[in-house]
Structure 1
């Protein structure tokens, strides 16, 4: 990565001063321009540094700027060697009408744990992780746990990019919040040994205009994650993605057992595709819908939202001609389910019918972070599903954390099929290509931002 700054600016940064365009957010002497929100952790100025210390039995604490910022480049240094989790709030807010005024918004993670997600983006008190480093493993070692760390954050338009010690960590596109304060977090604690644990910040400065010569080069290998609704970013288009549903019409889709799109039962409104509730049966209402085109090697991504007790699924390598009778069309299935309320979660073997699972074959589990459960964001919330299939190797991702991996041409896969409900379908899951399917299982389930790219 090449930083686009001149020699003079580099020298200025090394002695803690800034160019005319940059503004210091911390004067090195006191907390003028800052205010504390949330919990009761302590913040004080010692030796030109802001020092935060953890206090038991109090919520997350935030030292926040009194001023709000929209587009900016933020730089600061962070020291953390205690194991205390922290983060840098950007474009964050409080609103008495939202959860009693809790601090909420984008947080650039400072994570000294073995997980190593520093520089990832967490949506505090809203959507949780929106750019976990499970999508950018190489950045997980960027944080120096025994010294000072340079953090560089660019929030310009709907793009948020982060770097830790010169390593790009997150590349996010999201338009939920355009403006808010900046905050320094001291996380709540539960362990006695973290009482009084400290985190330090210094050299905090911001640029709010004239970005052209100050933006850092993007690392080509870092994937961009977008939460724009039914839109493709420039990065996605350059990398071969296209919308599989255009957000308004049924172009490219038909009923799995029809020559045309179902005349009713699938509703399109406000950029959301919804299968309406009927009797809870498998394909007994409007029926499944499938893509007109077939796909072999691909990366599919979409968002789904389920209602309480709902069941649905995303199928791939589907052959609609196999089952013209009752029930759903046949193909491999990324299960969509309310694990708490739908009885199917307790059927099958060891949970292989729960959300994110390869239905009736392989149970979804968090393969990205050891000892962390799969990350389902809840009923009535938008969740991301991602399926990557290439040369027989298949992955299921739920909210950007891997939950299933398998080889559909392996002996193990064939053995699993032999003892499943799919045993009667010859060569199930091994067809060279097939349609993508969204399932009607009689419950209301919504989809949006359905995109795909074909892989070589």
Structure 2
């Protein structure tokens, strides 16, 4: 927390209305349980504190005591030597009565972390000296920007006891879980800071992790990190259907394991499909799978579509993820990738004159059904017809970033839900390989799930 936040003058009359309005807005928090299950299953955690020294850290006023990093009375600032962009930080911390600290994210190395980066509050916010806090000053809030559940409900353990916390910072998503319950869950794109101050750090994509102290005792231990830095946008030399580190293969190059047929309309739409009874869904899926098996084959390690039948869908639903798929099409063909069951990342022949009125000459990779941002690709990156292309897609919240053959074609654009503007994009749904009645080829389909 900033020192100025400790005095009543923080509640300036000019900002009272904005703060009160934000305080009245219900928090939209996703549950912690599924997130923690994902984190508990992860196997590639990396410790960032060895429990014995400050190796890997730089700063002053912190020391190691009993296997923990402790802020001393002269403690002001300590940061990692390595930069991180997209990650999950898992740690334990302990406060004394009235303790005040913070965790800087994507900090550039100079300036006030709460503004030039982001600062997650670490505060004994129930102490009497903090009466009158603004909503964005409680423990776990993104300082000045997003309030936490701590402003309504105390989930901190008593001073002197260890707390466990996870901070998810991936793309524009920031989620904080305290002692098993979500307390902050926000998306930064387009967000207006509550405190009315400029926060240019919200736009940063990487930086240091920092402890922002005020000379109060705070202890941190068991610090570890999951790094979700985006993979290289193309994978030259990677053997076919062999996932890169951290990814799983959705297609094994041999059979249709892990895939299912797309149900016929209107049950192809997620919000309609969700209304089917279990028996009706099973019956419809049996028909769809028969059609799939008749028209989707494996040839030379690739999924090949006959040009008849329905699209192909993953058997599993996915929420936030990083995804690779190689594809090729014949002349004049049309296809796409549905994300969370919604159309679509466009695939088509840029030279097909019958589609010029629809903008195919701009190339593949756009979110073609969008009415606004992302509809058209930023650049034309298609390879010649008959050659393999590579999509690299990151889906965070309801926003997609897409690279085609290593070139950025969509930058953090919201995927609109075509089927019904009144229905939000599903938080998790199947990925689909779409067809428009022509031959298609797909291979090297890899996915890394991202906790949310």
Shorter-chain TM band:
0.3 to 0.5
Q: TM-score, normalised by structure 1?
A: 0.40
Q: TM-score, normalised by structure 2?
A: 0.40
Instruction: Say which structure is richer in helix.
Output: 2
